[in-house]
Amino acid sequence: MALRQKRRRLSRTAEFDRVYRHGRSTANRHLVLYVFPRDDQAPDAPLTGRTGEDAAGVEPRLGVSVGRRVGGAVVRNRVKRLLREAFWSLEDVFDQGNDYVIVARTDAGSLVEREGLDGLRMSLRELAEKRDSDEAASERSGGEGSPI
């Protein structure tokens, strides 16, 4: 995996809210993954002046939410750090140009304690595969379908 200078993150409440309200979600026991296709022509899109493949609109952006039910501050920060690392290590599994929000459920803390980064990678990969199969089923049914 190539090192980057800066990771793209969702940081504003409005960005999270847009993904929650208008995105599609997929869940398993440990995580909920929200996906929203980003339209970089939106007024709140960052202007970077870059063009081509390295333009800001191409990379996926990630937001992470870990509530207090997961554990204390040390546990929550570890879960967030490992979630980011797991997501970026699986970047090729996720579509470019989308915003993603990962919400850690209560059992995510115990998953990190038991299996660490590998457990989160497996859980994220499972969500990505589930999302892909849900999208394929939606396309076969001929409609957009309702958000999951």
Q: What are phi and psi of 31, to 5 degrees?
A: -140, 155
Question: In terms of CATH architecture, what is 13-39+56-130?
Answer: 2-Layer Sandwich (3.30)
Distance CA 6, CA 9 (A): 9
Q: Residue 4 corresponds to which tokens in the numbers above?
A: 């980057």
Distance CA 33, CA 147 (A): 12
Residue-wise pLDDT for 71-111, tens only, equals 999 999 999 999 999 999 998 899 888 999 999 999 999 99
Q: Where are the domains of the chain?
A: 13-39+56-130
| pLDDT score at 102 | 97
Cβ burial 107-122 (10 Å sphere, 16+ → b, else e):
bbbebbeeeeeebbbe
Mean pLDDT of 121-146: 80
Q: Residue 63 corresponds to which tokens in the numbers above?
A: 């937001």
User: DSSP secondary structure string, 115-141?
Assistant: HHHHHHHHHHHHHHHHHHHHHHHHHHT
Residue-wise pLDDT for 20-63, tens only, equals 999 999 999 999 999 999 875 444 444 443 334 444 557 899 99
